[in-house]
């Protein structure tokens, strides 16, 4: 995927695709993507690296890339909302909870489709 820019609550984030084999942080932490809060970058793995993404055809790679991108964008929204570190609870910051981020990343297309069907997506 090509590099892109996205506006997250008035802050520009760059979206980059990195080879896992060339990204030490991604490799060390076994990640398919991550959101850099300080440098405003969203990094998504190059899904074509067979060593890290075995048995994925091109269609599956693109589908998974989009899923990971949605997930990391949710992290960026939490960051820019001031929720990433100020939402502490007993088990840690809820905005850093991977299960919650996955839920929203997975459900957001359905949520947006519902908004669109009701014409309530914009202000």
Within 10 angstroms of residue 111's Cβ, the number of other Cβ atoms is 11
Q: Are strands 4-8 and 92-93 parallel, antiparallel or unpaired?
A: unpaired
CA dihedral angle for residue 4, residue 17, residue 80, residue 10, rounded to 10 degrees = -10
State which residues form the domain around 75.
4-117
103 in a structural domain: yes
pLDDT grade, residue 64 (50/70/90)? very high
What total number of domains does the chain contain?
A: 1
pTM over 0.85: no
10 in a structural domain: yes
**What pLDDT, on the 0 to 100 scale, is given for residue 122?**
65
80 in a structural domain: yes
123 in a structural domain: no
16 in a structural domain: yes
Rounded to the nearest integer, the mean pLDDT of the chain is 87
6 burial (CB, 10 Å; 0-12 / 13-18 / 19+) is middle
CA distances from 77 to 35, 57, 85 (A): 10, 30, 13
Using CA atoms, how far apart are residues 56 and 27, in angstroms rounded to an integer? Answer: 19
102 in a structural domain: yes
Name the region of 18 (left: φ>0; alpha: ψ -120 to 50; beta: rest).
Answer: beta
pLDDT tens digits for range 65-121:
989 998 999 899 888 887 777 666 656 777 778 878 888 888 889 888 878 877 777
122 in a structural domain: no
């Amino acid at each position: 995927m090509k590099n892109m820019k996205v506006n997250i609550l008035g802050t520009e984030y760059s979206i980059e695709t990195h080879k896992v084999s060339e990204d030490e942080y991604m490799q060390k932490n076994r990640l398919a993507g991550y959101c850099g809060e300080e440098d405003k970058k969203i990094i998504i793995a190059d899904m074509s690296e067979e060593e890290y993404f075995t048995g994925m055809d091109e269609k599956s790679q693109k589908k998974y890339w989009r899923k990971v991108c949605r997930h990391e964008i949710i992290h960026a929204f939490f960051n820019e909302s001031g929720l990433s570190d100020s939402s502490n609870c007993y088990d840690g910051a809820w905005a850093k909870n991977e299960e919650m981020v996955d839920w929203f990343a997975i459900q957001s297309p359905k949520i947006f489709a519902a908004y669109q069907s009701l014409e309530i997506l914009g202000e």
